[in-house]
Amino acid sequence: MQVKNGNTVSVHYKGTLNDGTVFDESRPRGDTLNFTIGSGKMIRGFNDAVVGMATGETKNVTLSPEQAYGSHNPEALQLVPKQAFGEDFVFELGGMIQGNGPQGTFLAKVQEVQEENVILDMNHPLAGQALSFEIELVSVETPTTTTEATWNPTMKKVELLGIAKALGLPVNTKSTKAQIINALGA
């Protein structure tokens, strides 16, 4: 069976940069990566690479920055007063800082250290980079047939949206009823 939208998959993967540096790998952790195709939980290029694969298949893909974590955004640099950190905090140029801000937890790279301030790069650490993945599809689960069989075109949009989201289809509240029905029928 080939993977399609709405399937829940388990994969092993190895991610490398252009220079061959491994930035992430599932096997040493002993756990597969599990996600629902089309749910928006994975970077778009990785999600799309798994579509069409069959259990046991291994695929090598290279994703452009736009298919991965996006281009490096110069507007994501933030000037932060050093006093926002503890007195004993040591700023290391290029070092990573994890903290809490108005939008929640963040990870940032120290871009520049000034006398009173520090400039933090709030981009994802892999933004602007092409990423290569070796992906092995370990298993595929199809949505339950009861969920698939419970919708029909006469249902209200909100009901159809709930079913489509449960199946991991790429729809949202801005989708029209026709778009949701089309996604469910695919």
pLDDT-derived band at 91 (thresholds 50, 70, 90) equals very high
pLDDT digits (tens, 9 = 90+) for 28-86: 999 999 999 988 889 999 999 999 999 999 999 999 999 999 999 999 999 999 999 88
Are 33 and 96 in a shared domain?
A: no
pLDDT of residue 185 exceeding 60, the answer is yes
Mean pLDDT, range 14-24, rounded to an integer: 97
Are 79 and 9 part of one and the same domain?
A: no
pTM of the model: 0.69
Supply the range of the domain harboring residue 85.
74-121
Q: Are residues 105 and 66 in the same domain?
A: no
Looking at the structure of the chain, the number of domains it has is: 3
Q: What is the CATH number of the domain that holds 5?
A: 3.10.50.40
HEC readout, the chain:
CECCCCCEEEEEEEEECCCCCEEEECHHHCCCEEEECCCCCCCHHHHHHHCCCECCCEEEEEECHHHCCCCCCHHHEEEEEHHHCCCCCCCCCCCEEEEEECCEEEEEEEEEECCCEEEEECCCCCCCCCEEEEEEEEEEECCCHHHHHCCCCCCCHHHHHHHHHHCCCCCCCCCCHHHHHHHHHC
pLDDT tens by residue, 103-152: 788 899 999 999 999 999 999 999 999 999 999 999 999 876 444 546 88
* Confidence (pLDDT) at 173: 86
Residues 41 and 57 in one domain: yes
